[in-house]
Every structure is written in C-alpha cells, then in structure tokens.
C-alpha cells in the first residue's frame, strides 16, 4: 500500500510508495540500465501482464488472445491501489491517507518499435477510444476526484518501457495543477461570461505567430508563457469541458491533429522525448445531479492537451522557486514547427 | 533581454529568454554533447569570464589574479539582467514584464575535478561566506523580491559545467514556492505562536526514524512528505529567519554538517546528481523600517536548505498534476544514510 502524505511547507500531497520501497542499489541499477530483451507489452506476452480491463480487437476475436490493437491493463506496480479506503489520519503535525486510486497502462499498439508519430490516424483513433472508454468507466467511482491520462515518450521523459503506451492514474485528491486551472477558468467565466481558453484561442488565431496548426476543429499553439521550449497546447476550437463527449468523427479530427503535430516535433527536433497530458474536467463536474466541488457548473472549463518536449533539465532554480526558464521564445518554436519542410509521409 | 510572462491557466510567471533564443539544432547538440576541453572557471581562465563581483583570496593578493579560493561573477548568459526597469504591460489577455534581476555564479574552488563532498569544512565555509556576502549586497536593491541560491551537481541535475559552482538568481517577483512557504509559516505562527519548522524539528528529534544527523546546531532529516527519494532538509536547530545572520562559528558548524551529509549521499548513492537550494526569508522581510509584503514580521520564517538527489525522472503525471511519486519512504532513506558504514575520510 502506498500513502498520500501532506507536505505542510509546500502545501501539497506526495504519493509515497511503501511496499517494495527502493533502496540505494535500485538507483545504481537504474543509472546503469541496459534494455531488457523481453517486453511484457508485446504480442504473446499477455500472460505476463495483469488482467486486461479493456481492449480493441478486430471483430469477432475472443478476449485474451494476441489479436488486439489496443489493450488496457492495470499497472503491475501501481502508484495507487484500487482496494481499500482512505483512512485519513494525523501523525503528530503531519497528515496522511492510504494510497487509494487506479493506475492503468494503455498499450497503444502490439508493435514494439513504433511510436505514436508513426501511427496512422486510424490507429491513433483506437488509442483515443481507449482513453474515452476508461474515463467513462472510472469516473463512476465516487472515490476518485481526478483522472489523469498521460504519455511519456523516451527515457528522458520518464518512459521505462519503450513499447508505445500511455498511462492513466485516478487520484482521491484534486491535484494542485488541476485545482488552479479549474478555479482560474471559473473565476474568468464568472467575471466575463466567457471562457478563458476560448479567449486565448481567439487571440492566438488573430496574432498567428504562436500558431502551429488550425483546421477549425483543433488548434495547436505554443502558449504565450510556455514553461518549456517547444511546449504546445492542443485544444478543441469549439468549447467543451469533456474529452469523453467527443464522437468518433471528432476523434478522427483529433487523431489527424496529433499525428501531424507529433510528426512535426519528431522531424524538427529529431525524435525528442516528450510528455503528453490530457487535461479534462474532473469526475465531480461530470456526474449528473451531483453538486460540483467547485461550486459552479462544469461548463466553464475547456479541456485541452499539453505536449511538452523534454529538451532542458529542470534544476535547483525550478525546485526552489516554482519558476521555469524557457530558452526558446514560443513565437520562434511555433515558426520552426509551422514552417517545417516535412517529408511527405502523411 | 528576457521577459517574465504570466501563464493565466497555471497562474505562474515564466522567464522567457528572447535574445539568442535557442533553435532546434541547439537541442540536437545538447543531446550529443561532448565535454569541452577548456573550462572558464579554472585558474588562468579569468579573462574568459565577466567582471568578478566578489572573491575570497589568501591575504594580500590583488584582485584579478589567479590566486583565489572562491570567486563570484555575473553569469555570462544570464536568465535575468541587472539593467533597466520592469515595464509591466499587457499583450491582449496576457501579461508581461522585462526580465530584470541578477544572475551570478559562485565558483566554489579553483580545482576543476573536486566537488563539495571532497571539500574540507574550511573550504565549504569560504563558499558559505560568499553566499552570505552576495545576499547582504543584493538585498539592498529594492527591485528584487527574492534572492535564491542553489547548486546543481551532475549533468542529470542540470549542471552544464562540471567545475564546482553554485548560482544566485535575484527575481523581481516572489516565486510561488517561496510565497507558499512564507504564508504557511506565517499562518501557523499566528495560530499557534510557534514556528512550523521548529515544531517539525521537535517531532523529527522525538520520532528519530527520519533523522540523518543532529549535532545540536543543525539537523538533517528526510521530510515526512519528501517529493523525491533521499530528499533531505537541513535546518538550524535554533530558530532563525535569515541565513545571512550566521556568524563565522555557525558557518563552520553548517559546513561540517554539509560535508558529512554530502559525503553520506555520495557513498550510499554513488555520487548522485543533486540540487541544493537555500530557502531564506525574502529581502522585503529583511530591510529595516519597511513594512513586510506579507503583512507580518519576518521572524515567523525558519530558513533551511533543501537537498534533492535526482534519482527519478519527473514525467507527465508530475507535469499534469503537481503531485510527485516517491518510490523510497523517507524513513528508509534516512536509515540508509544514518547507518551508512562510511570510509574514514572525514
């Protein structure tokens, strides 16, 4: 069982893994790691994983066989566990609760050596359908305050298994980054009767210089105050608070946007490591008939995707201040990506 | 000139470097970097650096010669510049100001190949004296809301030059991490008439299991909610809000604590990369006769040092939530460090 522990000075919860706590030798090994020969996410290795919770298969294929396109399994070494209750308690002046939640892996393809930038839009649609299905299922559990879906590509971005996959973590506490985005969006809406992200998209479309792509369905732009070089935001042009409301046609448009964007990043930055994060409204916003934790309708939030290449290291300054130093102005990053002379593979 | 830009969704300022903005090829090069042969921080290379602002020399040696022990110079490629005013302004719905501040490098030793864990306590005292002198000088400038001193050791911790050095950055905005620590400490003091860190030190001393070292002058412990494995906090046992008030004798006690702690980390974790951050009260708290920005006396804050080995990579989950996952319970980390069978070199 892991624990959620409150840091009273930084005002934040930390997930502390208590079983199989890693000792010094585990970190030595990690820094000297060689790639393993057998990958648990490949075809034929299904018995090595936990019990599948969702899959997309070519029609009329039984569950559990190797003939799958996308496959979702609980993480074998979860940061949070689905069983038990929170048991919130104090330890002297500290606060702690049990690490209850969900931690799943979305295996995006049976093909070990490809990455999402290689996928066809149809293959990306299958991954997005898996995201949607897992969100719709897990948001029924009232213990979960937030469900985050993210993808780490490359060792420098935190990927430990090279086989293409995303992860989902459901947490029993609204995370601080999410809480800030929600409250900012709510306050902005209350003051202006407009959505903050909608206003940002309008300004980006008008100023153009931070725009990478705009097909009327989805916009891709380098945020004005990007924390990292070549950071991108992907947002639906039409206001919506919930990714899971996307129909199959809209998923196709998003898949085309993702394919093109990842392909540009790879070409311009030579397959950079990156993190991709889906920022969606929290489950409490989405359960019908329940009052919102945030004291407002869900509809003031605008879901979006953050895509952050990991080209610079964060260090003491970032840890000590919470500020970032970005050595590439977003206007310049957007121009490189927008004007890239792409080999015709799309 | 760099810019400070406000991220309206994350509610945070970002420093965007605008001159010499780095293009894609700069990041290719960085990932393929080979170590350079000539180091600007070594003896005899002083002409390659900017004009020295502080140094500690053996007695009766003129400034500018190679015979120095510690040397402070403005960063040649500063994130923030000392000249100019902030010129705060709006750009559509965004906010921006000029990147005014200070960015200095503290070269800790003329010896390229040693690190602070190799230094004698007397050598560390000289480094701490340089910290103190630069803090006392720069806090006179009313434009600076905060002065942070930090040290990145090892490539994985963000060091780009291996020669032992620390950095100082003075910023015109109170950073969010600092603002949180200040307001939490103030609120705690107002409610309890006691200092939060003092209470934490009492609890750590009583529970013992997260304690690494305690010599009655300084305590070293693994925080209850450590964000990272083997994270440590070093704090003076006696309440004080200002590192710069330390006398030479207290600096010696701190140097002994630092030496022992860094030596333990190196031995147990095989010279891990790490970030060291000095958390001190902000200049506004320290200027006599000025009302505090935080509406309280400075004395409710307790200065401390954060020491964070970089053994795990942060990824999409951390970026998307602000939460951290720590795979080593602090009780276990403290035990490894406390009980380490150190070779007798101290």
For every residue of B5-42, DSSP letters joined together read EEETTTTEEEEE--TT---HHHHHHHHT----S--TTS
Q: Over chain B, what is the mean pLDDT?
A: 89
Q: Is the dihedral of CA A315, A319, A325, A326 positive or negative?
A: positive
Strands B102-107 and B70-74: antiparallel
Q: Calculate the dihedral angle through the C-alpha atoms of A295, A12, B135, B152, rounding to the nearest 10 degrees.
A: -130
Measured between CA atoms, how close is A254 to chain B, in angstroms? 20
Say whether B152 and A306 touch across the interface (CB within 8 A): no
**Residue B346: inside a domain, yes or no?**
no
The domain total for chain A is: 1
CATH of the domain at A124: 3.30.428.10
Is the per-residue pLDDT at B295 higher than 50?
Answer: no
Q: A270-274, B2-6, B77-81, B243-247: which range is least confident on average? A: B2-6
> Hey, which residues 165-194 in chain A have their CB within 8 Å of chain B?
167, 169, 171, 175-178, 180-181, 184-185, 188
Measured between CA atoms, how close is A275 to chain B, in angstroms? 5
Confidence (pLDDT) at B26:
78
Say whether B14 and A226 touch across the interface (CB within 8 A): yes
Render pLDDT for A26-60 as a digit per residue (tens, 0 to 9). 777 665 554 556 899 998 888 888 899 999 998 76
- Confidence label for B107 from pLDDT (cuts 50, 70 and 90): very high
**Residue A345: inside a domain, yes or no?**
no
CB under 8 Å to A21, separation ≥6 — which residues? Answer: B327, B328, B329, B332
Confidence (pLDDT) at B296:
45
Question: Beta partners for B74?
Answer: B104
Say whether B176 and A323 touch across the interface (CB within 8 A): yes
Q: For B245, left (φ over 0), alpha (ψ -120 to 50), or beta?
A: alpha
Measured between CA atoms, how close is A52 to chain B, in angstroms? 22
> Hey, which residues 23-82 in chain B have their CB within 8 Å of chain A?
23-24, 26-28, 30-31, 79
**Residue B319: inside a domain, yes or no?**
yes
Measured between CA atoms, how close is A59 to chain B, in angstroms? 33
Is residue B126 within 8 A of residue B164, CB to CB? The reply is no
d(CA B94, CA B6): 7
d(CA B287, CA B292): 9
What does the angle CA B141 – CA B142 – CA B146 come to, to the nearest 5 degrees?
85
Is B163 a catalytic site residue? Answer: no
Domain holding A272, by residue range, is 3-338
Q: Which tokens hold the place of B33?
A: 């970097």
Say whether B225 and A6 touch across the interface (CB within 8 A): yes
Say whether A150 and B316 touch across the interface (CB within 8 A): yes
Is the per-residue pLDDT at B291 higher than 50?
Answer: no
Please pick, among A103, A153, A163, A165, the residue that the annotation labels catalytic. Answer: A165
Of the segments A260-264, B175-179, B297-301, which one has the largest average pLDDT value? A260-264
Report the SS3 class of residue B106: strand
Confidence (pLDDT) at A342:
86
Measured between CA atoms, how close is A151 to chain B, in angstroms? 6
d(CA A6, CA A90): 10
Say whether B177 and A226 touch across the interface (CB within 8 A): no
User: A276 CB near a chain B CB, below 8 Å?
Assistant: yes
Q: Determine which of A3, A4, A6, A9 to mutate to test the interface with B (most B C-beta atoms within 10 Å).
A: A9
Measured between CA atoms, how close is A164 to chain B, in angstroms? 15
Chain A residues in contact with B196 (beta carbon < 8 A): 8-9, 93
Say whether A321 and B177 touch across the interface (CB within 8 A): yes
Chain B residues in contact with A144 (beta carbon < 8 A): none
- The separation between CA B336 and the C-alpha centre of its own chain, rounded to angstroms, equals 24
Return phi, psi of residue A298, to 5°.
-70, -15
Render pLDDT for B215-274 as a digit per residue (tens, 0 to 9). 999 999 999 999 999 999 999 999 999 999 999 999 999 999 999 999 999 999 999 999
d(CA A305, CA A235): 6
**Residue B187: inside a domain, yes or no?**
yes
Q: What is the pTM of this model?
A: 0.92
Say whether B336 and A16 touch across the interface (CB within 8 A): no
**Residue A343: inside a domain, yes or no?**
no
Chain B residues in contact with A167 (beta carbon < 8 A): 316-317
Measured between CA atoms, how close is A16 to chain B, in angstroms? 5
Return phi, psi of residue B269, to 5°.
-115, 15
Counting as low any pLDDT under 70, the low residues of chain A are 29-37, 60-65, 284-298, 345-346
Say whether B176 and A321 touch across the interface (CB within 8 A): yes
Identify which of A6, A21, A319 has the shortest CB distance to residue B275: A319
Q: Is the dihedral of CA B239, B244, B247, B248 positive or negative?
A: positive
For B179, the closest chain A residue by CA position comes to A321
Chain B residues in contact with A31 (beta carbon < 8 A): 270
d(CA B274, CA B280): 19
d(CA B230, CA A23): 9
User: Which percentage of chain B shows pLDDT scores above 90?
Assistant: 69
Confidence (pLDDT) at A204:
96
Q: Which tokens hold the place of A280?
A: 């969606």
What does the angle CA B18 – CA B21 – CA B25 come to, to the nearest 5 degrees?
170
Confidence (pLDDT) at A34:
46
**Residue A346: inside a domain, yes or no?**
no
Say whether A336 and B24 touch across the interface (CB within 8 A): yes
**Residue B204: inside a domain, yes or no?**
yes
Confidence (pLDDT) at A111:
92
**Which of B16, B303, B300, B270 minimizes the C-alpha distance to B132?**
B303
Say whether A14 and B229 touch across the interface (CB within 8 A): no
For A4, the closest chain B residue by CA position comes to B225
CB under 8 Å to B82, separation ≥6 — which residues? Answer: B74, B100, B101, B102
Please pick, among B153, B163, B165, B279, the residue that the annotation labels catalytic. Answer: B165
Q: A290-299, B101-110, B279-288: which range is least confident on average? A: A290-299
Place of tokens 């207290």: B250
Is residue B24 within 8 A of residue A336, CB to CB? The reply is yes
Q: Which helix (H) or strand (E) holds A12?
A: strand A12-16
Is residue B182 within 8 A of residue A322, CB to CB? The reply is no
Say whether B311 and A30 touch across the interface (CB within 8 A): yes
d(CA A250, CA A125): 10
Confidence (pLDDT) at A210:
96
Confidence (pLDDT) at A48:
87
**Residue A131: inside a domain, yes or no?**
yes
Confidence (pLDDT) at B286:
58
d(CA A16, CA B329): 6
User: A148 CB near a chain B CB, below 8 Å?
Assistant: yes
């Amino acid at each position: 069982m892991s624990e959620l522990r409150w840091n009273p000075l930084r005002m934040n919860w930390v997930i502390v893994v208590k079983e199989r706590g890693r000792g010094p030798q585990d970190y030595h090994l990690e820094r000297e790691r060689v790639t393993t020969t057998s990958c648990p996410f490949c075809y034929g290795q299904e018995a090595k994983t936990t019990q599948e919770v969702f899959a997309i298969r070519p029609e009329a294929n039984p569950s559990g066989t190797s003939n799958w396109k996308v496959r979702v399994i609980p993480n074998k070494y979860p940061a949070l566990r689905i069983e038990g209750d929170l048991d919130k308690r104090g330890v002297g002046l500290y606060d702690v609760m049990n690490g209850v939640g969900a931690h799943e892996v979305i295996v995006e393809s049976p093909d070990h050596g490809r990455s999402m930038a290689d996928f066809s839009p149809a293959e990306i649609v299958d991954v997005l359908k898996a995201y949607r299905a897992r969100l719709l299922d897990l948001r029924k559990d009232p213990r979960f305050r937030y469900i985050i879906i993210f993808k780490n590509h490359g060792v420098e971005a935190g990927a430990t298994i090279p086989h293409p996959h995303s992860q989902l973590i459901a947490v029993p506490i609204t995370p601080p980054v999410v809480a800030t985005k929600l409250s900012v969006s709510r306050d902005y809406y209350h003051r202006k009767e407009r959505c903050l992200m909608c206003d940002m998209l309008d300004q980006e479309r008008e100023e153009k210089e931070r725009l990478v792509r705009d097909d009327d369905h989805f916009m891709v732009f380098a945020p004005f105050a990007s924390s990292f070089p070549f950071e991108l935001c992907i947002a639906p042009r039409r206001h919506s608070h919930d990714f899971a409301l996307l129909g199959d046609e809209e998923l196709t448009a998003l898949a085309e946007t993702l394919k093109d964007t990842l392909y540009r990043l790879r070409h311009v930055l030579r397959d950079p490591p990156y993190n991709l994060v889906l920022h969606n409204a929290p489950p409490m916003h989405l359960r019908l008939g329940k009052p919102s934790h945030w004291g407002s309708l869900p509809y003031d939030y605008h879901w979006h995707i953050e895509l952050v290449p990991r080209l610079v290291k964060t260090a003491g300054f970032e840890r000590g201040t919470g500020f970032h130093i970005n050595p590439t102005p977003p206007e310049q990053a957007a121009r490189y990506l927008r004007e890239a002379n792409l080999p015709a593979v799309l």
